[in-house]
Homo-oligomer: A and B are copies of this chain.
Amino acid sequence: MKKVAIVGTGHTPFTFATEKTSIELFSEAAMDAIAEANLKSKDIKALYLGNCLGDFSEGQAMIQSYIANDIGAFHIPATRFEGACASSSLAVRDAYIWIASGYYDVVIAGGVERAASIGTPLATRTFAMFTDSHYEYPAGLTFPAMFGMLAHLYSKRYNIPLEKLKEQMAMVSVQSHTYGLSNPKGQFHKEITVEDVLKGFMVTTPLQLLDCCPFTDGAAAVVLASEEKAKELTDKPVFISGIGQASSGKLSSQKDYLPRLRAREISVKQAYEMAGIGPEDIDVCELHDCFSIASLIAAESLGFFEFGTAGEAWEKGETMIGGKIPINISGGLKSKGHPIGATGASQVAEIYHQIRGECGERQVEGAKIGLTDTLGGDGVICNLIMQKGW
């Protein structure tokens, strides 16, 4: 297989409800990505698009063909991927293999969602379709309930009193909002304190409002190219050095301790093996912080911290720039926002710019290897993408 590089990204502002259509949003991100890659629309050979709720948010399915036309990449193959919050990670993974195989030399991948525009009640209802709708959802296991349950299990397993865990989780949100101040594309630009989190209304014990990421509108795109093509386009190509993806049945079918999501641990292993490295080699990471507890369990399964100690790590600043492993320096899903189908591509774009040293105030100095971790649903999909500098 051939080496595959990322050569450009585009990213709309992540916002509350917008009046733009999904086609307009993604086209905006795509045109920026194509320009950043020093390419023209006609150079793009195929489009891989993540989108979850388009049919519900604006009554339009199959937007990929209309987008290809809208961006002037006429008649290219265009494919839509759905894997809940990991939809655009799946799209990027797939774009990767079309280049790695030698079939195409330049393609575009990404995702879009109008998860804020759809309105919270309908967003909540439709989003629940991404859990197991036959058993778990009717039993009350929506996403907040599921992650609340994981927090309780985590607390119990590691003997961390719930009040202490809540403080640790609050630190996750506080850090994300701190870095979110310096991400102009993010949804929130507002500092918060541990007290703000702990005073918030209870969503589902022990998760309070500021433990939860928002619904967001937005789009993100990345241009992928073969090594030969990438070298024509840039002196600083960033290569995809490892990929991993795994699934599981409904979370309650996982017989072992639930917070160590099997789909994640398997995909993590695949990605590290393919890249030939370990967690100690990662310079910067964007992980799936749909809820504050999700950050703790992700950071541990990714191998950055001993199990049961991630909360301490956040408290000590080990996840900040200058710490052991800078995590979610973009502001993460919590502060940057979570436009479901666009989230994975947004993470990939952030890591790309970190490796190229283009992140300004929030730059992790000398970052050369980074990874993204995206969950779909309550952990029934996990997708890892590892990037390495030139």
Contact = CB atoms under 8 A, between A and B. Distances in A.
Interface of A: 1, 21, 47, 52, 55-56, 58-62, 64-66, 68-70, 74-84, 90, 93-94, 97-98, 100-103, 126, 129-130, 132-134, 137, 245-250, 253, 262-263, 266-267, 376-377, 380-381
A77 B129 contact: no
Contacts of A381: 62, 65, 78
Contacts of A249: 65-66, 68-70, 74
Contacts of A79: 81, 83, 90, 94
Contacts of A98: 97
Given A79-B81, A79-B94, A94-B79, A66 B380 contact: yes
Contacts of A262: 75
Contacts of A83: 62, 64, 79-80
Main DSSP-derived SS at the A contact region: mixed
A132 to B, nearest CB: 7
Question: Chain B CB within 10 Å — which of A60, A61, A94, A134 has the most?
Answer: A61
Contacts of A102: 1, 101
Contacts of A76: 246-247
B1 A103 contact: yes
A61 B130 contact: yes
Contacts of A130: 61-62
A134 to B, nearest CB: 7
Given A1-B102, A69-B253, A134 B62 contact: no
13 contacts: A1-B101, A1-B102, A55-B55, A59-B133, A61-B129, A62-B83, A65-B247, A65-B249, A66-B250, A69-B248, A75-B248, A76-B246, A101-B102
A69 to B, nearest CB: 3
Nearest to A48: B94
A16 to B, nearest CB: 22
Nearest to A265: B75
A75 B376 contact: no
Contacts of A62: 82-84, 129-130, 376-377, 380-381
Contacts of A93: 77
Contacts of A84: 61-62
A130 B97 CA distance: 27
Given A65-B377, A79-B90, 13 more contacts: A1-B102, A59-B137, A61-B84, A62-B130, A62-B376, A62-B377, A65-B249, A65-B380, A69-B253, A77-B246, A78-B247, A94-B94, A97-B97
A216 B262 CA distance: 36
A77 B134 contact: no
* Nearest 7 CB-CB pairings of A with B: A69-B249, A101-B101, A77-B245, A65-B247, A65-B380, A60-B133, A78-B247
A274 to B, nearest CB: 10
A262 B55 CA distance: 25
A191 B379 CA distance: 49
A72 to B, nearest CB: 10
Contacts of A250: 66, 69
